[in-house]
């Protein structure tokens, strides 16, 4: 996403082909154990580009190979796997995803994340139709139904393609990281956990990092504070996971570019305000109360 500029993103043509090239390069280097982390994609091609880079051919009714992006998904009628890299089946893939969105539907890759990728309403309808067709073709050829699989909609549907064509296991991205860093051990004796996200809103409940951290901290009776770039609607239920506060770093009207350029200073400011409020003001109030 950071390699494209606002206004220049063409979601119908955006492709995951480069991801396939990375996997191919790793295969050539002898690697057979992979951890694929999904998120922050500017694509919505259902993993078609990645599979094309690895030799899988998706063809239309005229026998033409399609591999240019999500805009062509509705044209696919069959698959040819004769040149698909056979080394894939010698590998083990862990798919680590921060989201649990399915491949299609109201909570799927296109309808939830398409608008964030500058997809217009007519493009969203075209992409959703294509994703549905692509999922049907995949089911017909692999007997793997990815339509409603949790996590299949991650990274524009890349999770679904990996699930269908690779020896893989989908894991919650945050749970995977929590295990690696042994967060539970670090929570012992802690008084407070501070975590963060670019934007906290109703999508946070789909397995995003702050929720995973808060759940783990709550089990240890440690409260959590979330700092975010911006705060949206639908976050009221965070309290039941031990979240005692959600704070935006934005302290005055500004553009996204201004916020990004000044992130470090804005983050420093809000961190100071939080710690002062929690530790200094509460301590002063406690001392004044005990004077009487």
Whether residues 68 and 166 fall in one domain: yes
pLDDT over 70 (residue 282): no
Q: Is residue 9 part of a domain?
A: no
pLDDT tens profile 115-144: 989 999 999 999 999 999 999 999 999 999
**pLDDT average, residue stretch 78-99:** 94
**pLDDT average, residue stretch 2-17:** 77
Q: Is residue 48 part of a domain?
A: yes
Q: By C-alpha distance, which of 178, 248, 170, 169 is closest to 215?
A: 178
Three-class secondary structure assignment of 210-242: HHHHHHHHHHCCCCEEEEEEEECCCCHHHHHHC
pLDDT of residue 288: 44
Q: What is the mean pLDDT of the chain?
A: 90
Is residue 97 classed exposed, middle or buried when 0-12, 13-18 and 19+ CB atoms within 10 A define those classes? buried
Whether residues 164 and 197 fall in one domain: no
Q: Which of 150, 174, 198 is the last residue of a domain?
A: 174
pLDDT of residue 287: 44
The predicted model scores a pTM of: 0.75
Locus of tokens 């639908």: 234
Question: Contact 115/59 with Cβ under 8 angstroms?
Answer: no
Whether residues 168 and 195 fall in one domain: no
Q: Is residue 12 part of a domain?
A: no
H or E element in which residue 145 lies: none
Whether residues 141 and 205 fall in one domain: no
Q: Is residue 234 part of a domain?
A: yes
43/7: higher pLDDT: 43
Decide: helix, strand or coil at residue 6: coil
State the residue range of the domain holding 199.
Answer: 181-289
Q: Which of 122, 154, 174 is the last residue of a domain?
A: 174
Whether residues 185 and 160 fall in one domain: no
Q: Is residue 5 part of a domain?
A: no
**pLDDT average, residue stretch 47-73:** 95
Whether residues 149 and 105 fall in one domain: yes
Total domains in the chain come to: 2
d(CA 221, CA 188): 10
CA angle, corner 169, sides to 152 and 90, nearest 5? 120
Q: Is residue 6 part of a domain?
A: no
Whether residues 169 and 45 fall in one domain: yes
pLDDT over 70 (residue 289): no
pLDDT over 80 (residue 285): no
**pLDDT average, residue stretch 153-177:** 92
CATH classification of the domain holding 131: 3.90.1510.10
Decide: helix, strand or coil at residue 104: coil
pLDDT over 60 (residue 25): yes
Q: Is residue 23 part of a domain?
A: yes
Whether residues 100 and 50 fall in one domain: yes
Whether residues 25 and 160 fall in one domain: yes
Whether residues 123 and 214 fall in one domain: no
Whether residues 157 and 258 fall in one domain: no
Please tell me the least confidently modeled range out of 5-9, 85-89, 243-247.
Answer: 5-9
Question: Contact 90/120 with Cβ under 8 angstroms?
Answer: no
Q: Which of 174, 208, 224 is the last residue of a domain?
A: 174
Whether residues 130 and 159 fall in one domain: yes
CATH classification of the domain holding 220: 3.40.50
């Amino acid at each position: 996403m950071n390699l494209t500029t606002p206004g220049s993103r063409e979601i119908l043509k955006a492709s995951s082909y480069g991801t396939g090239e990375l996997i191919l390069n790793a295969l050539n280097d002898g690697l057979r154990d992979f951890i694929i982390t999904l998120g922050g994609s500017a694509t919505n091609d259902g993993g078609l580009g990645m599979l094309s880079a690895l030799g899988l051919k998706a063809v239309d009714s005229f026998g033409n190979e399609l591999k240019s992006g999500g805009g062509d998904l509705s044209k696919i009628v069959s698959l040819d796997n004769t040149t698909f890299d056979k080394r894939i089946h010698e590998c083990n893939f862990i798919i680590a995803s921060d989201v649990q969105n399915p491949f299609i539907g109201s909570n799927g890759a296109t309808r939830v994340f398409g608008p964030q990728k500058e997809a217009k309403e007519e493009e969203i309808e075209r992409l959703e139709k294509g994703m549905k067709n692509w999922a049907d073709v995949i089911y017909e050829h692999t007997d793997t139904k990815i339509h409603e699989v949790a996590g299949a909609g991650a990274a524009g549907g890349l999770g679904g393609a990996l699930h269908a064509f690779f020896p893989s296991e989908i894991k919650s991205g945050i749970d995977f990281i929590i295990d690696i860093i042994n967060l539970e051990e670090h929570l012992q004796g802690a008084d407070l956990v501070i975590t963060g996200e670019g934007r906290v809103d109703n999508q946070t409940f789909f397995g995003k990092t702050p929720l995973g951290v808060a759940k783990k901290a709550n089990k240890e009776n440690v409260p959590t504070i979330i700092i975010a770039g911006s705060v949206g609607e639908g976050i009221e239920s965070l309290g039941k996971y031990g979240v005692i506060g959600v704070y935006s770093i934005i302290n005055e009207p500004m553009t996204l570019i201004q916020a990004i350029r000044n992130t470090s200073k804005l983050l420093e400011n809000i961190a100071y305000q939080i710690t002062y409020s929690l530790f200094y003001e509460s301590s002063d109030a406690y001392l004044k109360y005990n004077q009487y």
